Structure 1
Amino acid sequence: MNLSGGTERVKHIVMWNLVGSSEEEKAASVTAVKSRFERLLGVIPGMTHLEIGVDFSRVNYACDIVLYSEFESREALAAYATHPAHLKVRDELEGVRIARHQVDYVSR
């Protein structure tokens, strides 16, 4: 999903491992994360792209899910971090995400 055609992008990538001791529990966690974050596109000012990817490799060092998003500026990314809609998603997913890795960078 892409909303803007600007030249500079701030990319925000977050990877998580999720709770779930069975395939069904893990799938429910994936669905919860995916559906809640996808609701943010079009709600967060300055967010131009958002996608959720689910790992299929199942290698032992892979994360379960990745959030890939783009913002118009560093300021837009900073505003996202404290936006009420984002904070609501974060609170709703408390305890579902058990490990987190993040990278933010500027791309032209």
Structure 2
Amino acid sequence: MIRHIVFFSAGSPENIGAVESGLRKLGRIPHSRLFEVSRNMKVDPIGDDVDVVVYAEFENEAALAAYKAHPLYSETTREVRPLRELRFSADVVAAPSTGETVKQ
């Protein structure tokens, strides 16, 4: 499974709602197992630059690639890019869940 996590900061506070609603459109793309868009609670005393987080899970790299190749992905990017300031993205392979906590 691949976890796709993207952090966004809006260019201005007035844009946070538009960034969030624009990103929610990505949930209509059929390739994810799980898709969430959430506002950052901003309770971390060290940094609160992130306004909106996208979290999605994909069965494999092919599903993630199909998601990113979908026309709605490009459309949403064109809509949200002018409204955001920062964007940080990570795609990580997650081990199958066994219900146990793994410590490193």
The residue aligned with 2:24 is 38
The residue aligned with 1:81 is 68
Q: TM-score, normalised by structure 2?
A: 0.76
Deviation readout 1:37-56 (Å, 9 max, x if unpaired)? 22232x32321211112122
Residue of structure 2 aligned with 1:51, choices 16, 31, 36: 36
Listed as ranges, the gaps of 5+ residues in structure 1 are 1-8, 21-25
How do 1:1-108 and structure 2 match up within 5 A? 9-20=1-12, 26=13, 28-41=14-27, 43-57=28-42, 59=45, 61-62=47-48, 63-107=50-94, 108=96
* 4+ aligned runs moved over 6 Å, structure 1: none
The residue aligned with 2:99 is none
Which of the two has greater helix per residue?
A: 2
Q: Kindly indicate whether the alpha-carbon contact (under 8 Å) linking 1:40 and 1:86 is maintained by their aligned counterparts in 2.
A: yes
Q: Give the number of aligned pairs.
A: 93
Alpha-carbon distance, 1:60 to partner: 6.0
* Helix, strand or coil at the partner of 1:50: strand
Task: Provide the alpha-carbon RMSD of the alignment.
Answer: 1.8
Separation of aligned partners in 1, 2:23 and 2:33: 14
Query: In structure 1, what residue type is equivalent to 2:19?
Result: V
Listed as ranges, the gaps of 5+ residues in structure 2 are 97-104
